[in-house]
């Protein structure tokens, strides 16, 4: 059991490769997206993966708590990185359409409903949920996760009602005033008849209703290194 031993730090952004190599001394340029390598440093095995949850190029680094603290100090002292927390990361993952469990995926929102069925290999041998997913793929689903762009400046939050002609047809799962696009956007779980691109819907925010339109869930293009 190694979980208690390892810590993790993520370096994300268009200059992540240069910073990881030059500031941390971890050679990683040969890695392509979603690959990993191990590096031995002072008798310790460090894991470096070209992965992340931001939609940008980046690396996730795993090592002892002491090593990760050293990485943090080097990054902050270099002046080439800015620290960010989970709120920032959540905004970034949302803008590129990456789901968060509990919001766009849950015990009640399946990969098929979330538009992620391409990641479910239904021709594999039996696994938990396989038959239910096959049924959803075959028969269709009653609700789907979509993107909505509001026409006015307002912030749709998790749980806010999505309306059509005065009737509730869904709920917001995640919403922000997108820093990268300058638009008020959200992902929402709505009844399937209202999931088509271009469909006009309303978001109820407190006591006001704001008009919006169904758009693709990826509000901002990813910049992974393939």
Instruction: Encode pLDDT of 87-126 as tens digits.
Output: 999 999 999 999 999 999 999 999 999 999 999 999 998 9
- Average pLDDT over the chain reads 96
Report the pLDDT value the prediction gives residue 4, as an integer from 0 to 100: 86
**141-167: average pLDDT:** 97
Report the pLDDT value the prediction gives residue 222, as an integer from 0 to 100: 84
Task: Tell me the C-alpha distance between 3 and 65, whole Å.
Answer: 11
Domain ranges, ordered by start, for the chain: 6-83, 97-215
Task: Render pLDDT for 10-42 as a digit per residue (tens, 0 to 9).
Answer: 999 999 999 999 999 999 999 999 999 999 999
Q: Which of 106, 175, 177, 90 is nearest to 143 (CA)?
A: 106
Query: DSSP code of 173?
Result: E
Pairing of strands 44-49, 161-164: unpaired
What per-residue string of b and e applies to 73-112 under the rule 16 or more CB within 10 Å gives b? eebeeeeebeeeeeeebbbbbbbbbbbbeebbbeeebbbb
Give the burial class of 20: count Cβ atoms within 10 A of its Cβ; 0-12 exposed, 13-18 middle, 19 or more buried: buried
Task: Tell me the C-alpha distance between 172 and 214, whole Å.
Answer: 12
Q: CB within 8 A of 68, min separation 6: which ones?
A: 7, 8, 9, 61
Report the pLDDT value the prediction gives residue 183, as an integer from 0 to 100: 96
Report the pLDDT value the prediction gives residue 223, as an integer from 0 to 100: 83
pLDDT of residue 1 exceeding 80: no
Percent of the chain at pLDDT exceeding 90? 92
According to the CATH classification, is domain 97-215 in 3.40.50.300? no
| Whole-structure pTM value | 0.91
Task: Tell me the C-alpha distance between 205 and 203, whole Å.
Answer: 6
The size of the chain, in residues, is: 226
Homologous superfamily (CATH) of 6-83 is Probable tRNA modification gtpase trme; domain 1 (3.30.1360.120)
Task: Tell me the C-alpha distance between 69 and 47, whole Å.
Answer: 15
Tokens 């952004």 sit on residue: 13
Task: Render pLDDT for 167-203 as a digit per residue (tens, 0 to 9).
Answer: 999 999 999 999 999 999 999 999 999 999 999 999 9
């Amino acid at each position: 059991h190694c979980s208690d031993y390892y810590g993790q730090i993520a370096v994300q952004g268009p200059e992540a490769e240069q910073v990881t190599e030059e500031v941390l001394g971890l050679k990683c340029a040969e890695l392509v997206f979603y690959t990993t390598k191990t590096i031995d440093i002072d008798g310790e095995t460090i894991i470096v993966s070209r992965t992340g949850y931001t939609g940008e190029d980046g690396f996730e680094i795993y090592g002892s708590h002491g090593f990760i603290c050293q990485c943090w100090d080097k990054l902050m002292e270099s002046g080439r990185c800015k620290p960010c927390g989970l709120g920032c990361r959540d905004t970034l993952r949302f803008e590129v359409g990456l789901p968060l469990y509990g919001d766009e995926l849950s015990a009640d929102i399946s990969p098929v409903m979330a538009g992620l069925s391409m990641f479910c290999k239904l021709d594999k041998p039996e696994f938990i949920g396989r038959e239910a997913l096959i049924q959803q793929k075959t028969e269709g689903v009653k609700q789907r996760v979509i993107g909505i762009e509001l026409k006015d400046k307002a912030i749709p939050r998790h749980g806010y009602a999505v309306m059509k002609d005065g009737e509730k047809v869904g709920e917001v799962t995640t919403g922000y005033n997108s820093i990268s696009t300058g638009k008020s956007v959200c992902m929402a779980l709505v009844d399937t008849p209202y999931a088509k691109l271009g469909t006009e819907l309303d978001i109820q925010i407190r006591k006001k209703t704001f008009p919006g339109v169904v758009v693709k869930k990826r509000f901002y293009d990813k910049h992974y290194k393939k």
